[in-house]
Amino acid sequence: MMIRGHTGVVKPNFSIMLLEMPTLKCHKFKFGTTSTFQASPNHEKRGSLITKLQYSRGDRKTVSKSLHSTITSKPYSSKVSRKEGSASSLYSRPSLVEMKNVRQENRAKVYEFLRGIGIVPDELDGLELPVTVDVMKERVDFLLKLGLAIEDINNYPLVLGCSVKKNMVPVLDYLGKLGVRKSTFTEFLRRYPQVLHSSVVVDLGPVVKYLQGMDIKPSDIPRVLERYPEVLGFKLEGTMSTSVAYLVGIGVARREIGGVLTKYPEILGMRVARVIKPFVEYLESLGIPRLAVARLIEKRPHILGFGLEKKVKPNIQLLLEFNVREAYLSSIVAQYAEIIGMDLETKLPSQRNLLKSIIELDNDNFGTIIEKMPQVVSLSSSAVNSHVDFLKSCGFSLQQVKNMVIGCPQLLALNLDIMKHSFQFFQKEMGRPLDDLVAFPAFFTYGLESTIKPRHRKVVHKGITCSLSWLLNCSDEKFAERMTYDTIDMEEMETAPSFDMSSLTQPRYDESDSDYEEDGEEET
């Protein structure tokens, strides 16, 4: 830069500085008593600065900003001064520290709101939460409308990290489309609130497809999910696949798996090594063949949920203490598997006292009755009383009734109307003495039209005199063979009905009924 001329300089020793700035095009400057150099308008816009050079006649001091420092700085940069609020700033934004402080303030307000309605937010630290109280209130209100209580939210406070629009609504809509009843949503979320964190496409859809691949009917899927919502959180190649594979391996028919899982989907969450395998092996140790165990699981899959150490083994020990013989344990479980999952510590003394008070049953024979009909532990006092009263009305003494119950405990659970029809036929058509019924009380367990009447007519036609046991306690094929006899085998007359374990291991030809059963309760 060269200064071509000047005027008004008083002192002769004023020196002129020559600045060479090749990047800046200079214009002429005018000097007065106090001279001012001004940059071109273009530079004023680009640098947002006006460079002034002011000189004093007396001391020659420069009181302006350095032209050199202005030009060598970055032309497009601007430093924001929050304290001065410079008008030259293009924009301003909060610092990271300020943003953090704002978030902390908002979270504190959200926590204050939650504590105010009874929710403990301690577990929410580190979880991304709504930035305003209004959004958090929306989430809480939505959960409360679903039927959840503040206590339920406190049991799983992480549910407050779910967005109503992005998480809750899509998941609940999907469950509703599957057929899960809205009336069950409350209990569903209480048991498995984590479902609200799930992705319909990534998490829920594949599990539903897997269940359908296990031959669970589409119409049964909603009931399965309602009964066991936790299944939606399982890995497809984890516990679910191994438990099913093990059941098939011990003999559960592959076509029965759908029905088994529909009745008791909790199997999908059971570990083979810890739960299923030890249970199966224990039943085998009682004398139940493995294939028979498989049949029991097909019919009553919920028995796998009986705690082996806490319930099953203690119940078996209690049966022995109540005079049940060890050799009969297998048939007891095979006949009535529910007995190993009951509260026998209460039921056994109660039922023994009931029978003692009604028919004067002694303790030793109580074990015999359980061996023949383990369902006796579930009979109500009214059922026992009504059946005993009927037998007494037929003319049997209390001692005879006692003997009949010991011989055939099923008398305490049969349909009374059917018993009345059978007794009328016995009394009027067969004309036998009551002692025949005392000797063979199982007479009442046979069908009147299907078995008793036709066989009685054949015996009368042939002119054979026989006991009720010889007449009834055999298959149709065996009875037809007996009709060819000239004499009656006395040993066959002594045979008493008993449970046949092989009946469980026979091949099944009936189609699996996988229709949903609410509880699968046993009949008495």
CA dihedral 53, 56, 60, 62 (to 10 degrees): -30
Q: What is the pLDDT of residues 275-303, one digit of tens each?
A: 999 999 999 999 999 999 999 999 999 99
Whole-angstrom CA distances from 216 to 22, 124, 297 are 86, 39, 17
d(CA 115, CA 109): 10
- What is the DSSP secondary-structure string of 451-494? IIHHHHHHHHHHT----HHHHHSS-HHHHHHHTT-SS--HHHHH
Q: Which alpha helices (DSSP H) does 117-184 contain, by range?
A: 133-145, 150-155, 169-178
Q: If pLDDT is split at 50, 70 and 90, which confidence band does 124 have? A: confident
With a CB cutoff of 8 Å and minimum separation 6, the contacts of 206 are: 236
Q: If pLDDT is split at 50, 70 and 90, which confidence band does 492 have? A: low
Q: Which of 366, 365, 377 is nearest to 335 (CA)?
A: 377
Q: What is the pLDDT of residues 341-393, one digit of tens each?
A: 999 999 999 999 999 999 999 988 999 999 999 999 999 999 999 999 999 99
CA dihedral 326, 330, 331, 336 (to 10 degrees): 110
Residue 26 pLDDT > 50, yes or no? no
The residue extents of the domains of the chain are 430-490
* Average pLDDT for the chain: 81
d(CA 468, CA 523): 27
Q: Which amino acid is at 194?
A: Q
Q: What is the pLDDT of residues 62-117, one digit of tens each?
A: 444 433 444 444 444 444 444 444 444 455 566 777 767 777 888 889 889 999 99
Coil, helix or strand at residue 119: coil
CA dihedral 27, 28, 30, 36 (to 10 degrees): 30
pLDDT recorded at residue 94 = 63
pLDDT recorded at residue 93 = 66
Q: According to the per-residue pLDDT averaged within each range, which of 76-85, 115-124, 452-461, 491-500 is highest?
A: 452-461
Residue 112's Cβ-side half-sphere holds a number of Cα atoms within 13 Å equal to: 9
Q: Which of 304, 322, 301 is nearest to 520 (CA)?
A: 301
Q: If pLDDT is split at 50, 70 and 90, which confidence band does 406 have? A: very high
Helix (H) or strand (E) holding 187: helix 185-191
Coil, helix or strand at residue 346: helix
